[in-house]
Structure 1
């Protein structure tokens, strides 16, 4: 996608609306196919007509072409910079696998969020010093004013049954708007607020295990948001996608205890940001005490099989295959699936 000297009226995070040159032009599906052909992508197992149809109605070019970075390129010679034996069918194949991965992990993170919320409410109900109302008040008063006001604004905007209200929980919020108990509050706030409340409780009770769980759940939240927003996952399975911090000790201990890969493999794969978050999600799903959905467990089994099939299909010459294999092994380590 060559840059042009055309002047565009653009918008950016820092500058807002401004004039800009040297930007990539928007391409039609036909132009997108030509661009891929120029980069060495072949259309043998998927015709150009089928590719145009896919780029017109199945998934965007940005999404589908994202997986090309996983494949090798010629380093020298007349084909320097072009991809090695990459067919458009491979991009569609990995796009489909990524979709399956996202759907499965969205179910996994949904189970985790549900169980974490349920166990927290049950613990509060068993505590004679808690009445279910004061803890919400103390939590809200303990937050920074900007965050506290953000939570309140979000709930007020969703309350009621008018056209702008939340169809699914607006009436519940409205009914308890003057005195919201914890069992309602945690039902209607987003995952991020649930995590903030969980950390508040960990500090309140001096519970180190709950504090550790909170930090693990931040990785679960990242996976959940990625899956819900249909972001690519597999295209991040490269050695260059380094995590911003080391994996938590409990997660590495879980991997070791389940004998997932060698010590070297665990260390290498957990340096990857996406893999670290996915593995953390699986470890939490395995260790959380609660009723995990049988449908979710079945989906994990099917995903493991799909990952193994892709490992056989692409072989060891593509580095991303080792990530797929490690993820399959981690899924197999989850108990009772």
Structure 2
């Protein structure tokens, strides 16, 4: 059904849109207008951001060709301002460096999430196949009923997704087995399934104790990494009470409670802990190599962070990442 605006020309649409805007919306748009890279650099200068290490021309080129302002500028919130509201000791090069570090970290986190997803699905499948009380089909329907899921949706609600899943859809959509469900379910669905399965199973139950408790937190950082959202920001506020296992992991890692009670840190620690517990030795060894390279990159520009407590670990002589049992991150253990 067509809306009223579908029959209006561009000018009339603009008039209609502005007539229904609130004053708050209009004020916000006026305060944050669209800007060219050159205009953004001028605005940054007014806020106290310097261009001593990276020149304005270099910064403009970076914003035009390699990134965009919002992706880089978000890291400024972890730098202090003076009494006049201008940033202290902040060069654009610092923001650019953090954007690169965060990008590399997100890739590591996403790969870890994929490793963990595969390992947990493999474990679930092997346990269910060996369980004589399960036929492989009833559990799927019980799971769908529990969460009021439409199983047809996992085969693709859109034509584009169905294009890739058509062979599976044609054969299995009328009667979905658990091994097909594992192939199609999202990470979020797997998170729900692990909680459901832990309550349901009577064999090897304790093997699913920690995934059932912690996977929902690992899912948060997985989604952030998959959607390319910044991770290494707001590392001190937004406190929660972590799971007792994560408190143990944090304490063993030498991370202060002030840090591991942060939601982001909690989510990341959950992912590292589960990855260490459920992924193969070969996968973990590969991760160790990635972390060692990442650790070197974190310290490449250590002088940038000499006055910033949020990123103080980047300037330390010890490696930000240390591998132990359980695997953990030192990059987050700021004083």
Please give the range of the TM-score, normalised by the shorter of the 2 chains.
0.7 to 0.9
Q: Name which of 232, 241, 248 aligns with 1:246.
A: 241
Does residue 1:66 correspond to 2:74, yes or no? yes
Does residue 1:85 correspond to 2:80, yes or no? no
**Separation in 2 of the partners of 1:251 and 1:226?**
20
Does residue 1:128 correspond to 2:127, yes or no? no
The residue correspondences of 1:1-337 to structure 2 (distance < 5 A) are: 9=17, 18=21, 20-23=25-28, 24-75=32-83, 80-144=84-148, 148-149=149-150, 151-157=151-157, 164-205=160-201, 207=205, 210-237=208-235, 239=236, 241-243=237-239, 245-256=240-251, 259-261=252-254, 265-288=255-278, 290=280, 293=283, 294-309=285-300, 312-322=302-312, 329=320, 331-333=322-324
SS at match of 1:51: helix
Q: 1:308 to 1:278 in 2, by over 3 A?
A: farther
SS at match of 1:234: coil
Give the deviation of 1:94 after TM superposition: 0.6
Give the deviation of 1:174 after TM superposition: 2.9
Give the deviation of 1:322 after TM superposition: 4.0
The answer as to whether partners of 1:111 and 1:292 remain within 8 angstroms in 2 is no
Q: 1:156 to 1:309 in 2, by over 3 A?
A: closer
**Separation in 1 of the partners of 2:157 and 2:134?**
29
**Separation in 2 of the partners of 1:58 and 1:68?**
18
Give the deviation of 1:164 after TM superposition: 2.8
The answer as to whether partners of 1:304 and 1:332 remain within 8 angstroms in 2 is no
**Separation in 2 of the partners of 1:175 and 1:317?**
61
SS at match of 1:22: helix
SS at match of 2:35: coil
The answer as to whether partners of 1:279 and 1:330 remain within 8 angstroms in 2 is no
**Separation in 2 of the partners of 1:174 and 1:313?**
59
SS at match of 1:164: helix
SS at match of 2:233: helix
Q: As a proportion of its length, which structure holds more helix?
A: 2
Q: How many residues align?
A: 305
Q: 1:155 to 1:323 in 2, by over 3 A?
A: farther
SS at match of 2:198: helix
The answer as to whether partners of 2:241 and 2:261 remain within 8 angstroms in 1 is yes
> TM-score by structure 2 length?
0.81
**Separation in 2 of the partners of 1:272 and 1:292?**
31
**Separation in 1 of the partners of 2:162 and 2:291?**
32
Give the deviation of 1:153 after TM superposition: 2.8
RMSD over aligned Cα atoms: 2.8
Q: List alignment gaps of at least 5 residues for structure 1.
A: 1-6, 11-16
